[in-house]
Each structure stands twice: as structure tokens, then as C-alpha cells.
Amino acid sequence: MTVCTPTRLAAACATALSLFASAAFAQVPAGYPADYQKVIDAAKKEGKLTIYSTTDTKAAGPIVKGFEAMYPDIKVEYNDMNSTELYNRYISEQAAGGNSGDVVWSSSMDSALKLAVDYALVYKSPESAKLPAWANWKDSAYGTTYEPAVFIYNKRLVPAADVPTTHAAFAKLLTTQTDKYKGKVTSYDIEKSAVGFMLTVQDKRNDKGFTEFVTAAGKAGLVVQSSTGTMMERVSSGENLLGYNILGSYAETRAKTDPSIGVAYPTDYTLVLSRVSFISKKSRNKNAARLWLDYLLSQKGQDIMANQSDLGSIRDDIPGDNDVDGMTKKLGAALKPIPVNESLLEYLEQKPRLDFIKEWRTAAGK
């Protein structure tokens, strides 16, 4: 007869928990191909995943936690960087042939796609059919979020009648009330922020009055910053009163706890950014990377993204209104999603880029 000592009991519990965890890990998501089990098993052996991302750790935290709960044998190393740092680090590491990110996940859509052209692994996610066609580039790079670019304003100091609802109204406000808003308008420094550069390029493509808008902002003493957080701090404090091309996901999150921050969605056109993700061809943990990408695009992952991380979902079947369906009901034809395709690359070539920056600086008086 076996004596059940505390030591034996603890060992038995540990074995049971281990078997339970393995069983949970081995579960193929519903609707996935049967041979997906091979990916899961191989990922378990890899045991690690390195992510290079521009999504701040606080926002990404619930998503990473959900992934690790689903795949407990994979340890996630999450690296939060700004877009320029991510791009330069990744390029350098790829050239040196050393360790690098298994997955890139960047809000700088153009620079992320430029990396994907040279370094992305072709992988057709089982979730790809659930995405808008514009969010999939050659089964190699995927849009993962749906984030409108918005206007923000100081609710204490900007009267409701002054809050702009179109780009033309924004420009008119600055030209008719220049004294009030002089030095009080903020946006991205397009030479230091890759996201800011990309959004400004998209403004030019969508706004016939682009030059007039930038000129009005420039004459009002446009204050440029390299981060969304800094712009929101300045608007909240009243140091600045208005901001444009602010990521709506961050603005809405801030507005929930900051009564000074107001958010306005442009009704003439609202650019929609989608964070681009791809798997590195040279990834040392390709199977773990596949699991992450599929999870990120899955209904479960997108639900967490929309309702816990406050990043708009790229899908249209997520509870609540923070997804494509909810945004479409709110803004309709004004929504202008930025497609994940080669059009993003045009202004990354040296001459077009420098010419565009010169055009912007001249109009903005910078």
C-alpha cells in the first residue's frame, strides 16, 4: 500500500497541474485546421517569444496576459519602443545576424511595411478571412487594430462652439481667433515621429485643403511633439488647447480619467491607423510567433484588445462598439482606413520624403 505523505500529495498535485496545463496548451482553437496541433507542439518546445512593439506596455499587458494564459509554456519577452528606435534596432540586428524580434508590431504602418517587404515570413493566418481585405498584405503583414486619428481639446478652456468637427473648421478657427489660439495648437513633429509623418502624408492624400490647414496651424504657432503622451499632457494642463492627428485609442483612454481632455472625431474624413504586425523570416521561435499572430487576430484576442486595452478592433464581430462595426455606425463614410499596401512606401524614398518635409515645413513656418 502506498502511504500518502504530504510530500507525495504535493508531487501528485504538481503532476496533475502539469498534465492539466499541457492539455490546455494542446487545445486547437475551434475552426482551425487539424494539423495546427503541430504548430502548438513546436511552439511549446521553443518556449519563448520576443516581440518588438510600439504599443505601450500598459495597453499591451492584457493581451500578453491572455496569450500566456492560453499558452502557459511560452514565455513572452515584450519590448516597448518608439517607432524610430524599433526600426533602427531591428534593421541593425538583422544585418548583424544576431537575435532579434520574432514578431514586429508597430503603429508606424509605413516603416513596418518597409521592414516586412524584406524580412517578413509568409504566413496565412487561419484568422485572415475575418479581416478587411485592405488589412492583409500578401499574407505577410497584417493590420491588427482600427484606430481613428482625432482632434483633442481642453474641455475647461475651449468653448463647445469652438470645438472643430472638420479640418476646414479647425483651420478657420485658427485664422479667425489667432490671438486666442496662438502657440496653443499641438501635433506631431513629422521629422521625429514616424507615426506623425505617416498621418500627415495621409492628410495630404485625403484633404484638398491640406496646405491651407497646415498654413493656418503654422501661423497659429504650431507646437510639435514626438509623442502622443506629451501632447495630451500639454492639452490637459492648458499649456496647449487643441491637438490634431492624435491616436484616438490613447485619447479615449486618457479622457476616461481626465476631465480636462475632450475628443472630437472629424466628420469630413477620419484617418484610421492599423498597427501592422509580421513574423520575422529569421525568427528563432517561428511557431510561437504564429500562435501570437493568430491570437492577436482572433476573436478572443481582439475582444481583449478592444475592451481591455482600448485599442479598436480590426474585426466586426467584437462585443461593444470599439471595432470596425461600431466605428462605422458612428462615423460612416468619413472613415478612411489606411491600407496595408505598397502605397505606404512612396514617401519613404529619400527624395519624396525630403520634398514632403520641406513642403510641410514651409507651410507650417518651421
| Residue 291 reports pLDDT greater than 80 | yes
The helix (run of H) or strand (run of E) holding residue 117 is helix 109-119
Q: State residue 310's pLDDT score.
A: 94
The residue-averaged pLDDT of 142-169 equals 97
Radius of gyration from C-alpha coordinates of the chain: 23
The CA distance from 124 to 23, in Å, is 26
pLDDT tens sequence across 337-361: 999 999 999 999 999 999 999 999 9
The CA distance from 193 to 186, in Å, is 13
Q: State residue 3's pLDDT score.
A: 40
CA torsion sign for 15, 20, 21, 22 is positive
The residue-averaged pLDDT of 272-290 equals 98
Q: State residue 4's pLDDT score.
A: 41
Q: State residue 216's pLDDT score.
A: 96
DSSP secondary structure string for all residues of 32-75: S-TTHHHHHHHHHHH-EEEEEESS-HHHHHHHHHHHHHHSTT-E
| Residue 23 reports pLDDT greater than 50 | no
Return the higher-pLDDT residue of 55 and 7.
55
The cell for 220 is 497659429
The cell for 17 is 497541474
Contacts of 177 (CB under 8 A, 6+ apart): 162
Cβ(71)–Cβ(25) below 8 Å? yes
Cβ(128)–Cβ(122) below 8 Å? no
pLDDT tens sequence across 46-68: 999 999 999 999 999 999 999 99
| Residue 327 reports pLDDT greater than 90 | yes
Min mean pLDDT across 26-30, 151-155, 221-225, 310-314 is at 26-30
pLDDT band at 321 (very low <50, low <70, confident <90, very high): very high
What is the CB neighbour count within 10 angstroms for residue 134?
14
- 3-class DSSP assignment, residue 220: coil
Q: State residue 10's pLDDT score.
A: 46
pLDDT tens sequence across 78-123: 999 988 899 999 999 999 988 899 999 999 999 999 999 999 999 9
What whole-number percentage of the chain has pLDDT above 70?
93
Strands 270-273 and 335-337: parallel
Locate all alpha helices (DSSP H) within 207-281, ordered by sequence.
210-219, 228-237, 248-257
* pTM exceeds 0.95, yes or no: no
Q: State residue 26's pLDDT score.
A: 52
Return the higher-pLDDT residue of 255 and 6.
255
The structural domains of the chain, ordered by start, are: 20-146+275-322 (3.40.190.10), 147-273+344-364 (3.40.190.10)
The residue-averaged pLDDT of 280-292 equals 97
Return the higher-pLDDT residue of 10 and 102.
102
